């Protein structure tokens, strides 16, 4: 998978619901960031990457409230890069095929966090 170079690319990938889910449109940067964080919190991603946990807190209110199609790259360049860095790690983890070792690691991670509802 190619690396995302814009927030719009991230929105297109995360918002593509696939054959069984509706497509999602993100109106604001905050809605997109929330979706990236939700995807990162999925067990098959979280077991291998949790650096996204503080992502939203590190972003300015102005950036988060900006409509996705109006983001000024000059003004918000550093914050855009922070979102892209997390998305470029999270999306490939979410889309990969899991090996038995991956499944064991996920189960171990869930157990270590006290989640007894894993299968």
Q: Is residue 61 a part of any domain in this protein? A: yes
Which residue would you say has higher pLDDT here, 105 or 91? 91
Residue 105 burial by CB count (10 A; 0-12/13-18/19+): exposed, middle or buried? middle
Q: Is residue 1 a part of any domain in this protein? A: no
pLDDT of residue 65: 98
pLDDT of residue 9: 94
Q: Is residue 43 a part of any domain in this protein? A: yes
Using one digit for the tens of pLDDT, what is the confidence trace for 11-30?
Answer: 999 998 765 466 889 999 99
Which residues are 28's β-sheet partners?
67
pLDDT of residue 115: 73
Residue with tokens 């991603």: 45
Query: Mean of the pLDDT values across residues 59-73?
Result: 97
Using one digit for the tens of pLDDT, what is the confidence trace for 107-118?
Answer: 888 888 887 665
Which residues are 31's β-sheet partners?
none
Q: Is residue 57 a part of any domain in this protein? A: yes
Q: Is residue 118 a part of any domain in this protein? A: no
Query: Strand, coil or helix: what is 111?
Result: helix
Is pLDDT at 1 greater than 70 in this prediction? no
Nearest to 39 by CA among 59, 10, 67: 10
pLDDT of residue 10: 95
- In DSSP notation, 2-55 reads PPP-SHHHHHHHHH--GGGS------BHHHHHHHHHHHHTSHHHHTT--GGGGT
Q: Is residue 89 a part of any domain in this protein? A: yes
pLDDT of residue 103: 85
The residue segments making up the domain with residue 43 are: 7-112
Structural domain total, the chain: 1
């Amino acid at each position: 998978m190619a690396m995302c170079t814009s927030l719009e690319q991230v929105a297109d990938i995360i918002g593509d619901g696939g054959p069984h889910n509706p497509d999602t449109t993100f109106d604001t940067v905050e809605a997109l960031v929330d979706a990236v964080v939700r995807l990162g919190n999925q067990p098959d991603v979280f077991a291998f990457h949790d650096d996204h946990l503080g992502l939203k807190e590190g972003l300015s209110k102005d950036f988060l409230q900006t409509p996705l199609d109006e983001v000024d790259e000059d003004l918000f360049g550093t914050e855009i890069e922070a979102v892209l860095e997390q998305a470029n790690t999270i999306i490939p983890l979410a889309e990969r095929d899991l090996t038995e070792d991956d499944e064991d690691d996920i189960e171990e991670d869930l157990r270590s966090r006290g989640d007894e509802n894993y299968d």
